């Protein structure tokens, strides 16, 4: 309870009191006019509380510090089908109507709570609210996002309907001081500003003033642009770049569609999985400055390229590259890497445990990571570029795709849309959860972030998450001419998102986009588990649901029958290739 005492103790008391009823969110604001909550007492009355400055607290069982209090009316018809189809897991919740006179667009920018009272006016329960439903209902948006270039101007757009204020901080280079701060203006949840063309090549961060449920406070969050097309090292700042600038294109880039390897049918595809760093990190035939990066694929006489040529000649059609977008866990600045002394390790006896100990000691600071730690989906990973600041990562990724296509191999990108590396208002690697907190991440019935996909599960059932995924795929297909996409944990993505992605990609044409979208292949991991299992959050991209869509799914039944064993069974169980057909 807040004691009202002055000084630091007062702040601590307020924080503790707040945490008791606002750091969970068991009620759902599902449309502009409806709130759903799992309350059973038919005599219950509900009130909605809002505080623009996030000063609500509980004192002697009474809610204090709010700016407005609104009584909600029971909706006797319950939740409409449009709501229960989207939020199947709360279909049994009771519905309460918000008066039409309430300014909902203003309230969603506030600290919010809903409280229930019995027939005698005694408070029964109080909780925070989950807002994705009302945000989709009121602010779903299909207009421009990111940076849009014209001949004389640059326009910047950011979707942030819960933000109280947004400005853009421009900096002097990737690590230099602040140059100026420019205010953005809001229209129906979208913040925008138009400036001179000479903003191009500046570095910037958005400063978003917003209520954040992780802290129950109004926070000033510094965030990169979710639609960034360029970055500084370690994604500390967005680089304001025109991705169509001719200086970013390798020679003959625009005509690459005519050089793509022949593909008559998706059934002809054979795929080789490859890690970008592993391909060349220890290849002495590759220029030492290119090893472990995008440029290694342009070294025509290297041992690795010679091997890929042989695979291509033998019938390999596609090269699946493990995550190559901006991910966390590997420093983009190579001088910061720590590596083991391989010469010293080679002196140790084969049975020693010192080799492993040496690797474990630096594993958080070495350059090795599979890459399944998404920070920003739309920009190539900086550690694979010769220079993580500026244009190198864009140019070199394009050179890699071009070189592989000329070897006779189409390029598949491993995309990880099911989770994010970070969340909350503070981490540099947190982006989406700073801009519209609580929207992009899927939460459980208590309002806590779901982590079944690894950590910070995303929620493609939300309109703007679905849109961001499809927009990002189009970015890679058009701007980098990627030939296919492998979806990590596809079962955690909604089927409608996958179908919309396929339709958008296959509509691309050489005449309009420089890409033949009909040749872009989609496939993924259709595992059905976690909070999305059995369509609990909507029809998901599981094996059974994806059947007949033309989108491929990994087949664990064939895998286990051939190899034997399974992730969940006896590893010694024989399969066809491990002797079952003989004995």
Q: Which residues are catalytic?
A: 488, 525
CB 274 within 8 A of CB 260: no
Kindly report the number of other CB atoms within 10 A of residue 27's CB atom: 28
d(CA 319, CA 331): 25
Please name the residues in contact with 557: beta carbons below 8 A apart, sequence gap of 6 or more.
none
Sheet containing strand 271-274, edge to edge, reads: 271-274, 318-321, 410-415, 484-487, 521-524, 552-553
| β-strand partners of 413 | 321, 485
CA distance 79 to 322: 43
**How many Å apart are CA 418 and CA 440, to the nearest integer?**
11
Q: How far apart are CA 207 and CA 170, in angstroms?
A: 11
* d(C-alpha 375, C-alpha 383), whole Å: 13
Beta-carbon neighbour count of residue 344 at 10 Å? 11
Q: To 10 degrees, what angle do helices 132-139 and 463-479 make?
A: 70
**Strand residues in 30-162 grouped as ranges (E):** 34-37, 45-51, 57-59, 62-64, 68-74, 94-97, 111-117, 123-127, 129-130, 146-149, 153-159
Q: Decide: 29 and 133 in contact? Cβ < 8 Å.
A: yes
CA angle at 40 for the pair 34 and 46, rounded to the nearest 5°: 45
Of 324, 244, 263, the closest CA to residue 483 belongs to: 263
Helix (H, G, I), strand (E, B) or coil at 543: helix
Distance separating alpha carbons of residues 190 and 208, to the nearest angstrom: 12
Q: What is the 3-state secondary structure (H, E, C) of 571-582?
A: CCCCCHHHCCCC
C-beta separation of 276 from 322 below 8 A: yes
CA 298/CA 302 separation, integer angstroms: 9
Q: How many residues does the chain have?
A: 583
Task: Give the DSSP H or E segment for 411.
Answer: strand 410-415
Q: Spell out the residues 6+ positions from residue 511 whose beta carbon is closer than 8 angstroms to its own.
A: none
Q: How far is CA 329 from the centre of its chain?
A: 15
DSSP state, 450? P
DSSP conformation letters of 244-272: T-GGGS-TTGGGGGGGSPP-S-GGG--EE
CA-based nearest residue to 135, from 435, 436, 493, 420: 436
Other C-beta atoms lying within 10 Å of the C-beta of residue 81: 9
């Amino acid at each position: 309870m807040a004691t009202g005492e002055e000084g630091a103790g007062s702040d601590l008391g307020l924080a503790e009191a707040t945490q008791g009823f606002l750091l969970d969110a068991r009620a759902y604001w599902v449309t502009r006019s409806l709130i759903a909550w799992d309350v059973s007492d038919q005599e219950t009355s509900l009130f909605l509380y809002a505080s623009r400055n996030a000063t609500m607290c509980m004192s002697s069982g009474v809610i204090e510090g709010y700016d407005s209090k609104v009584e909600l009316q029971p909706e006797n018809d319950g939740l409409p089908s449009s709501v229960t189809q989207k939020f199947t897991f709360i279909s049994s919740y009771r519905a309460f109507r918000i008066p039409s006179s309430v300014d909902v667009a203003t309230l969603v920018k506030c600290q919010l709570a809903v409280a229930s009272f019995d027939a005698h006016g005694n408070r029964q329960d109080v909780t925070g609210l989950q807002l994705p439903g009302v945000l989709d209902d009121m602010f779903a948006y299909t207009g421009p996002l990111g940076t849009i270039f014209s001949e004389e101007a640059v326009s910047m757009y950011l979707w942030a309907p819960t933000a109280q204020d947004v400005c853009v901080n421009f900096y002097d280079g990737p690590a230099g001081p602040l140059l100026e701060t420019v205010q953005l203006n809001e229209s129906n949840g979208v913040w925008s500003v138009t400036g001179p063309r000479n903003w191009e090549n500046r570095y910037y961060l958005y400063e978003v003033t917003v209520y954040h449920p992780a802290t129950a406070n109004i926070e000033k969050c510094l965030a990169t642009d979710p639609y960034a097309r360029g970055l500084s090292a370690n994604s500390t700042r967005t680089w304001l770049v025109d991705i169509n600038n001719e200086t970013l294109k390798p020679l003959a880039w625009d005509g690459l569609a005519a050089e793509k390897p022949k593909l008559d049918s998706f059934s002809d595809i054979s795929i080789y999985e490859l890690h970008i760093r592993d391909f060349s990190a220890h290849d002495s035939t590759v220029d030492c400055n290119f090893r472990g990066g995008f440029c290694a694929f342009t070294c025509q006489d290297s041992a690795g390229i010679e091997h890929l040529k042989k695979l291509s000649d033998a019938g390999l059609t596609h090269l699946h590259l493990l995550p190559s977008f901006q991910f966390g866990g590997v420093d983009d600045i190579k001088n910061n890497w720590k590596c083991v002394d391989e010469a010293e390790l080679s002196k140790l006896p084969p049975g020693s445990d010192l080799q492993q100990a040496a690797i474990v000691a630096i594993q958080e600071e070495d350059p090795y990571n599979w890459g399944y730690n998404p920070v920003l989906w739309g920009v190539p990973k900086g550690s694979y570029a010769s220079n993580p600041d500026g244009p190198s990562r864009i140019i070199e990724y394009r050179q890699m795709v071009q070189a592989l296509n000329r070897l006779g191999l189409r390029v598949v990108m491993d995309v990880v849309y099911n989770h994010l590396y970070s969340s909350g208002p503070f981490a540099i690697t947190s982006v989406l959860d700073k801009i519209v907190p609580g929207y992009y991440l899927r939460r459980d019935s208590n309002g806590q972030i779901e982590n079944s996909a690894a950590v910070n599960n995303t929620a493609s059932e939300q309109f703007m998450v679905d849109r961001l995924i499809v927009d990002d795929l189009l970015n890679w297909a058009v701007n980098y001419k990627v030939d296919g996409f492998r979806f990590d944990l596809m079962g955690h993505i909604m089927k409608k998102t996958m179908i919309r992605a396929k339709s958008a990609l296959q509509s691309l044409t050489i005449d309009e986009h420089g890409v033949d979208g009909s040749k872009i292949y989609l496939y993924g991991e259709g595992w059905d588990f976690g909070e999305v299992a059995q369509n609990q959050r909507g029809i998901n991209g599981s094996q059974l649901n994806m059947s007949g869509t033309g989108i491929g799914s990994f087949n664990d039944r064939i895998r286990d029958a051939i190899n034997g064993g399974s992730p969940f069974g006896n590893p010694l169980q024989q399969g066809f290739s491990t002797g079952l057909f003989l004995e």
